[in-house]
Amino acid sequence: MEFIAYWDQQALVVLNGWGGPVWDSFWLFATETFTWSWLYVLVLAGIFWEFRWAGLLTIAFIAFTVALCDQISVHAFKEVFQRLRPCHDPAVQSFIREVGNRCGGEFGFVSSHAANSIGLAVFLSRTLRGVAAPVSWLIPAMAIWAFLTSYSRVYIGVHYPTDVLAGAALGALIGGFMGYFHGVMRPLLPKFSR
């Protein structure tokens, strides 16, 4: 574990240290939830375009997927492991840049941003797989969004790389399960389909 912790700290210092004012602004922009509101609107529009009123079920699944990712990342990980965020950790505080003074809560394992974004991206990739061209572009768009959101947390100094990787794994697991369950449920509602 000490070996992993050492390399985690080294990777953080390197990834957090790359940058300057332009990159700082970009990654602060990327880490903000509001930045991506246009994409969320397009996802909702794409879901209703593809599924019509059955899209209401998909919206409910999206809300439940994000809620599960968020609550499990906090209550089953952050509160249990109580690993300090780098910006609160005396072992690395003096070696990193806290970009934008966005440290947040005391504990960082696992990253809720990574869990939420990867969980949503995986859920949508399962749900929208095989759909028509006007909607299918949302799958790579969500993958890029999830990567940018997740990486931004390391860049601005609020998560270790393993916080993000573990959060991504948790999100992928939850998103995959919810996508499978959605696929089982949707055909049971034929009267709401196109």
Place of tokens 């919810």: 178
Q: What b/e readout covers 127-138, taking b as 16+ CB neighbours within 10 angstroms?
A: bbeebeeebeeb
pLDDT at 145: 96
Nearest residue to 142 via CA among 163, 165, 171: 171
CA distance linking residue 161 with residue 44, whole number of Å: 31
**Farthest-apart Cα atoms in the chain, separation:** 60
pLDDT in tens, 132-161: 767 888 999 999 999 999 999 999 999 999
Q: Where are the domains of the chain?
A: 2-98+106-192
CA distance linking residue 174 with residue 10, whole number of Å: 29
**Which H, E and C letters describe the chain, residue by residue?**
CHHHHHHHHHHHHHHHHCCCHHHHHHHHHHHCCHHHHHHHHHHHHHHHHHHHHHHHHHHHHHHHHHHHHHHHHHHHHHHHHCCECHHHCCCCHHHCCCHHHCCCCCECCCCHHHHHHHHHHHHHHHHCCCCCHHHHCHHHHHHHHHHHHHHHHHHCCCCCHHHHHHHHHHHHHHHHHHHHHHHHHHHHCHHHCC
Which positions of the chain have pLDDT values less than 70?
A: 133, 189-194
Q: How many of the other CB atoms lie within 10 Å of CB of 105?
A: 11
pLDDT at 103: 87
What is the pTM for the complete model shown?
A: 0.90
pLDDT at 194: 47
pLDDT in tens, 63-90: 999 999 999 999 999 999 999 999 999 9
CA distance linking residue 30 with residue 162, whole number of Å: 20
